[in-house]
């Protein structure tokens, strides 16, 4: 009965963990947009002020400054425009690193999202297995949301193909390139190769490029993120299936029995599985246990309100 009550309590805690926001400090799309606008605004002002220190074909002072800022941020670097003086080169160095850091920050947030999803699914999978038995494995695999990852990947792939088609047609009609050269320029742009033999040289072309380059380069990066997510979803399904269906041995029970009382509680079982999956290490467990011992001032083996009151009373006296 005690173990059953402990399991129910633990399941409630898992439900709380599952329902918590995936990223408490998540930066919204609006905030990221404001950061991007601020980056482009500062870059445009800086590069427009030193327009005479930038070589290449000129169309419009402000437009050329925005265009130069965008190709610097995305590392497209066609070579059709470039800094000439030390001041211009110094600014270019600052903005290229800042732009790459901004892009890396966005991708790191996406990576954090994927990792947190994995953790939540794993903890949920263990407790669904404990509650419903081995037959719940199919329900757990459905929770992996592989189809959702696939749909995101296919949607982004469709967007990339549309943008590539749009860019090819625009370069062909406006920049007067052949369809093959236009497609070649599109591929060189979205992959940030930027050989420089083909680029946007007209005013209309650069106005189009300011938006098109940003959208396509970010979309391509997202495409690879979704591809990795789709791959990890498949691996996760296999891993969850293995964890839930692997036959426990006596050695497993001995390893899971942290307090050496010859009985493995629900908490010990979950902790053992998390350690087996590499989610936590022995060092992590040791640190947490030490923190528990410091809080358990009455040495009862549990944490109560009385423990906290004793600690507060001791701290107030000091």
Task: Encode pLDDT of 29-59 as tens digits.
Answer: 567 677 778 888 888 888 888 888 887 777 7
SS3 state at 84: coil
pLDDT recorded at residue 6: 45
CA-CA distance, 289 to 152, in Å (whole number)? 41
Task: Report how far apart, in Å, the C-alpha atoms of 161 and of each of 190, 220, 231 are.
Answer: 11, 10, 21
Q: Give residue 144's pLDDT.
A: 46
DSSP string, 253-276: HHHH-TT-SS---HHHHHHHHHHH
- pLDDT given for residue 147 in this prediction: 65
Phi then psi for 82, rounded to 5 degrees?
-165, 155
* Model pLDDT, residue 166: 94
Residues of the chain where predicted confidence (pLDDT) is lower than 70: 1-30, 32, 77-79, 103-148, 194-196, 239-240, 243-244, 278, 318
Give the pLDDT score at 169.
Answer: 94
CB neighbourhood size of 148 (10 A): 12
Question: Distance between CA 303 and CA 203 in Å, rounded?
Answer: 69
Per-residue model confidence (pLDDT) at position 60 = 82
In the chain, where do the E strands start and end? 54-56, 81-83
pLDDT of residue 173: 92
- pLDDT given for residue 17 in this prediction: 43
- Cα gap 233→147, rounded to integer Å: 9
Give the per-residue pLDDT at 122: 55
**What pLDDT, on the 0 to 100 scale, is given for residue 215?**
82
For residue 132, what pLDDT is reported?
57
């Amino acid at each position: 009965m005690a173990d059953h009550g402990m399991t129910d309590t633990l399941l409630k805690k898992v439900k709380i963990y599952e329902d918590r926001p995936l990223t408490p400090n998540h930066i919204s799309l609006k905030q990221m947009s404001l950061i991007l606008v601020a980056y482009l605004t500062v870059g445009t002002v800086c590069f427009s002020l030193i327009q005479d220190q930038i070589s290449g074909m000129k169309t419009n002072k402000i437009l050329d400054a925005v265009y130069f800022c965008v190709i610097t941020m995305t590392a497209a670097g066609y070579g059709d425009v470039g800094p000439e003086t030390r001041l211009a080169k110094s600014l270019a160095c600052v903005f290229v690193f800042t732009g790459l850091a901004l892009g890396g920050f966005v991708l790191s947030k996406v990576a954090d999202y994927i990792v947190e999803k994995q953790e939540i699914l794993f903890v949920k999978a263990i407790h669904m297995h404990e509650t419903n038995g081995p037959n719940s494995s199919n329900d757990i695999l459905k929770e992996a949301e592989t189809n959702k990852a696939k749909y995101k990947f296919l949607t982004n792939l469709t967007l990339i193909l549309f943008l590539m088609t749009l860019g090819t047609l625009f370069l062909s009609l406006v920049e007067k390139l052949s369809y093959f050269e236009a497609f070649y320029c599109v591929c060189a742009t979205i992959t940030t190769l930027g050989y420089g033999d083909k680029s946007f040289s007209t005013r209309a072309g650069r106005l189009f490029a300011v938006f098109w380059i940003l959208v396509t380069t970010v979309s391509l990066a997202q495409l690879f993120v979704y591809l990795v997510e789709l791959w990890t979803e498949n691996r996760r399904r296999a891993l969850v299936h293995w964890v839930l269906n692997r036959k426990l041995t006596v050695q497993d029970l001995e390893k899971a029995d942290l307090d050496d009382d010859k009985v493995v509680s629900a908490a010990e079982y979950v902790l053992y599985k998390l350690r087996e999956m590499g989610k936590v290490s022995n060092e992590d467990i040791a640190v947490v246990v030490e923190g528990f011992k410091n809080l358990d001032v009455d040495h009862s083996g549990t944490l109560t309100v009385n423990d906290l009151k004793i600690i507060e009373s001791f701290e107030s006296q000091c």
